[in-house]
């Protein structure tokens, strides 16, 4: 057996290794839940619960399958995509161009929204609030030391989720109404929302919610990085920015393959935990938005975003509750921002390393810092110039990162598992590590559904 391989625990002991999914879910519980789910619930109500399930469930198959490849080979999703058949690095070039632009907009949208929460909480300007948060988030990501801050923010986020869950339970719909929400329907935008400037096309609210469900394209890539960080299977702990050792993979025997296969169960459990957290958190925010803000006919937007969203807690616990919601919402946005500033530089560093080999001459940490500097500058500009439109920015980021590349990502992961992976191992090992049919089915359905959104619905909302 390879010396760096250890057998995965069995039974309930698997739960002790759940970790990457917690990082994954803490990264996407921010703008997607606090802002989009609450706003969509307020405008369209319970009938769009299916959109929450669709976004999270289908992306679960993409993220989990990509992580499965990482467990088997020890390399992240971007290196996997570089191996997909076709012109050299064609998929990675698409990612490099698209994600370079998308990352700046998506991170900038978070910083802008967080700036408005900061302004509401401390009575400062939104620009000052946004710039302070950008500076702190980049500094923390640069140093990589955020344990104490993470604990404080996690407590605040937990309080908000617990509070929103409590509110959601009090305004919980009837069983029949809840059940109907699981079946795809597209309700009309109510007249009161139209009067507040909401688009008459309901897909303008539904698509961003689906786009940020379980995070976007980048979140699925990052999940493979968090699995690397956990050291599952062939993944070497914190072995970022490196291709798989092909010679080592070819030398694996049946016993090694059985050991690797034991780690697949860990990934399945871990990813399922992330999916469950995503579904419940998003659902509670949507129900609370429908039951409180919908009845108050408020569609959260612009610089009044934080105060409007805080009505969820104010309705139950007064001004103290509203302040607590704003503090917790700010913590969720900052947590997501730090997560994105940890993930996107890794993704872009991998893409640049593969497409522009000269970039690989820099040490990995230097590559990471180069992109942090870029995001610091771009965030400062976006907060200053476009920060007064946080919802527009968040929705745009959700479309760009959460939908446009997702059909291709499903195809790339399918190719990685069923075409690329078998070539990296001896035949008998490849056969033992071959994914089951239902993984292919999950990826195929994700490809079909997200292709439909991209071709038929996205053009109609612009």
* pLDDT tens, the chain, 462 aa long: 555 678 877 776 676 777 777 777 766 666 667 888 999 999 999 999 999 999 999 999 999 999 999 999 999 999 999 999 999 999 999 999 999 999 999 999 999 999 999 999 999 999 999 999 999 999 988 887 655 555 665 666 677 778 888 888 889 999 999 999 999 999 999 999 999 999 999 999 999 999 988 788 999 999 998 888 888 889 876 667 788 989 999 999 999 999 999 999 999 989 998 888 888 888 998 999 999 999 999 999 877 888 888 888 888 888 888 898 888 888 888 888 888 888 899 999 999 999 999 988 888 889 999 999 999 999 999 999 998 888 999 999 999 999 999 999 999 999 999 999 999 999 999 999 999 999 999 999 999 999 999 999 999 998
Identify whether 6 is part of a domain: no
Determine the pLDDT at residue 67.
Answer: 95
Query: Does some domain include residue 4?
Result: no
Angle, alpha carbons 281-455-202 (nearest 5°): 50
Establish if 438 belongs to a structural domain: yes
Strands (E), 106-243: none
User: Considering the domain boundaries, does residue 462 fall inside one?
Assistant: no
CATH number at residue 256: 1.20.1740
Instruction: With respect to residue 264, please indicate whether it lies within any of the assigned structural domains.
Output: yes
Number of domains in the chain: 1
> Which residues 6+ apart lie within 8 Å of 134 measured at CB?
111, 376, 379, 380, 383
Query: What pLDDT does 31 receive?
Result: 62
pTM above 0.75, yes or no: yes
Query: Counting Cβ atoms within 10 Å, is residue 461 exposed (0-12), middle (13-18) or buried (19+)?
Result: middle
The tokens of 405 are what?
A: 């590349």
Cα 174 from Cα 168, distance rounded (Å): 12
Asked if the structure places residue 459 within a domain, the reply is no
Is residue 275 included in any domain, yes or no?
Answer: yes
Whether 217 is in a domain gets the answer yes
- Cα 177 to chain centroid distance, Å, stands at 28
Distance CA 424, CA 431 (A): 11
pLDDT of amino acid 315: 83
Our CA angle for 374, 376, 382, nearest 5°, is: 100
Residue-level pLDDT at 147:
59
Task: State which residues form the domain around 106.
Answer: 11-451
Q: What is the pLDDT of residue 57?
A: 94
């Amino acid at each position: 057996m390879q010396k760096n391989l250890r057998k995965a625990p069995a039974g309930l002991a698997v739960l002790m290794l759940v970790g990457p999914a917690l990082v994954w879910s803490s990264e996407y519980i921010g703008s997607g839940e606090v802002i989009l789910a609450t706003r969509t619930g307020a405008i369209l109500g319970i009938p769009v619960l299916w959109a929450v399930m669709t976004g999270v469930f289908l992306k679960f198959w993409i993220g989990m399958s990509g992580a499965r490849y990482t467990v088997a080979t020890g390399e992240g999703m971007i290196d996997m995509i570089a191996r997909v058949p076709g012109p050299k690095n064609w998929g990675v070039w698409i990612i490099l161009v698209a994600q370079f632009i998308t990352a700046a907009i998506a991170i900038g949208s978070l910083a802008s929204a967080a700036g408005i929460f900061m302004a509401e909480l401390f009575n400062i300007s939104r620009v000052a609030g946004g710039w302070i948060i950008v500076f702190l988030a980049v500094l923390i990501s640069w140093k990589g030391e955020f344990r104490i801050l993470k604990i404080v923010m996690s407590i605040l986020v937990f309080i908000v989720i617990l509070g929103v869950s409590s509110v959601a339970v009090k305004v919980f719909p009837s069983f029949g109404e809840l059940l109907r929400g699981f079946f795809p329907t597209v309700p009309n935008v109510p007249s009161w929302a139209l009067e507040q400037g909401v688009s008459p096309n309901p897909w303008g609210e539904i698509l961003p919610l689906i786009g940020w469900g379980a995070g976007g394209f980048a979140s699925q890539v990052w999940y493979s990085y968090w699995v690397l960080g956990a050291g599952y299977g062939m993944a070497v702990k914190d072995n970022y920015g490196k291709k798989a050792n092909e010679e080592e993979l070819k030398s694996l025997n049946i016993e090694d393959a059985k050991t690797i296969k034991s780690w697949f169960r860990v990934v399945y459990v871990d990813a399922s935990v992330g999916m469950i957290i995503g579904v419940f958190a998003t659902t509670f925010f949507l129900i609370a938005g429908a039951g409180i803000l919908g009845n108050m006919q408020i569609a959260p937007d612009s610089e009044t975003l934080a105060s409007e969203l805080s009505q969820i807690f104010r309705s139950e616990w007064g001004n103290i509750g509203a302040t607590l919601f704003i503090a917790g919402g700010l913590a969720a946005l900052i947590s997501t921002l730090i997560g994105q500033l940890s993930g996107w530089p890794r993704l872009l560093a991998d893409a640049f390393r593969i497409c522009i080999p000269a970039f690989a001459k820099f040490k990995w940490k230097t590559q990471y810092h180069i992109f942090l500097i870029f995001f610091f500058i771009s965030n400062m500009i976006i907060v200053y110039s476009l920060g007064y439109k946080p919802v527009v920015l968040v929705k745009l980021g959700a479309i760009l990162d959460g939908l446009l590349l997702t059909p291709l990502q499903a195809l790339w992961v399918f190719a990685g598992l069923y075409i690329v992976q078998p070539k990296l191992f001896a035949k008998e090992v490849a056969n033992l590590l071959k994914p089951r049919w239902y993984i292919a089915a999950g990826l195929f359905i994700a490809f079909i559904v997200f292709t439909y959104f991209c071709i038929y619905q996205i053009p109609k909302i612009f």
